[in-house]
Amino acid sequence: MEIFDSHAHYTDEAFAEDGAALLASFPEKGIVGVIGAGSSIKSSYAEKALAARFPFYHAAVGVHPEAAAEWKPGLIAELRTMAEGAVAIGEIGLDYHYDDGPDREIQKEAFCAQMELAKELDLPVIIHSRDAAADTLELVQKHRPRGVLHCFSGSAEMAREYLALGFYIGFTGVVTFPNAKKARLATAAVPLDRLLIETDCPYMAPVPYRGKRCDSSMLPQTVAALAEIKGVSPEELAAATAENARRLFGIR
């Protein structure tokens, strides 16, 4: 089985000690691709450094809404340079989860500017949206980038809105949780050629690893759960999602 992890954070400090050894072991575990998502200017540089070390590893660069406090318009020029050799702009978006999180107007400004940069560079976007579904959709409909809505947690109706915009939808190990009925219903609404799988590691470990540090080698559990919902074999599900990731991110 060939597995493509479309969203991971191997620059997180959770991997500081053994991350490089772990990544080196992935080819023999069937992990054929990993997208390392930037979440700040600093982590985006770190993702690019990892991509330079491992041929199956590809970097996305961007400022996450939780890092929006560092946003200033001048960062677009830096990101434009940094995007050279990157496969996407991300992760970017809106996160209203914390009342004391970054100012929502600054989050929107950073999100919109980075969607425009992605369009200018003809790169896909990786969108993060938490507790901000209506505003995220409104801004995506306004700017019309191409890309993926990652770690999808919305309804089947919301999935259809993004599918209509040409988006891919990324699902994590959450689909393996016993109480994840909503995520499973949403998955059923996403055609096989628009589905991506992701760890979002070090978070979101699938059952039976729930609560542990997650990594891409745990994805077979997520593949099995999605394959059952889609009524295909795990091998087919893995192959289709790997092909989708290569198509979206322009990887050959």
- 198 touches Zn ion by CB under 5 A: no
- The burial class, CB within 10 Å (0-12 / 13-18 / 19+), for 109 is middle
Least Å distance between CB 9 and Zn ion?
6
Query: Which residue, 123 or 126, is less far from Zn ion as judged by CB?
Result: 126
User: Binder to Zn ion among 47, 198, 200, 215 (CB under 5 A)?
Assistant: 200
**Candidate ranges 85-93, 103-111, 134-142, 213-221; the one touching Zn ion (CB under 5 A):** 85-93
Q: At what angle do helices 41-53 and 75-82 cross, to 10 degrees?
A: 10
By CB under 5 A, tell whether 40 contacts Zn ion: no
To Zn ion, the closest distance from the beta carbon of 60 in angstroms equals 10
Q: Minimum CB separation from Zn ion for residue 203, in Å?
A: 8
Question: Does residue 66 touch Zn ion according to CB under 5 A?
Answer: no
Helix extents (H) in the chain: 19-25, 41-53, 75-82, 104-121, 133-143, 156-164, 181-189, 219-230, 234-249
Q: How far is the CB of 172 from Zn ion (least distance, A)?
A: 9
| 128 touches Zn ion (CB under 5 A) | yes
3-state secondary structure of 18: coil
Q: How far is the CB of 231 from Zn ion (least distance, A)?
A: 28
Q: Residues 114, 125: contact at Cβ < 8 Å?
A: yes
CA distances 239 to 100, 174, 187, Å, are 41, 20, 17
- Measure the CA–CA gap between 4 and 56, rounded to whole angstroms: 9
User: Where does this chain touch Zn ion (CB under 5 A) — which range of 74-82, 88-96, 141-149, 230-238?
Assistant: 88-96
Lookup: tokens for 201:
């590691």
Interface residues toward Zn ion, by CB under 5 A: 37, 91, 128, 200
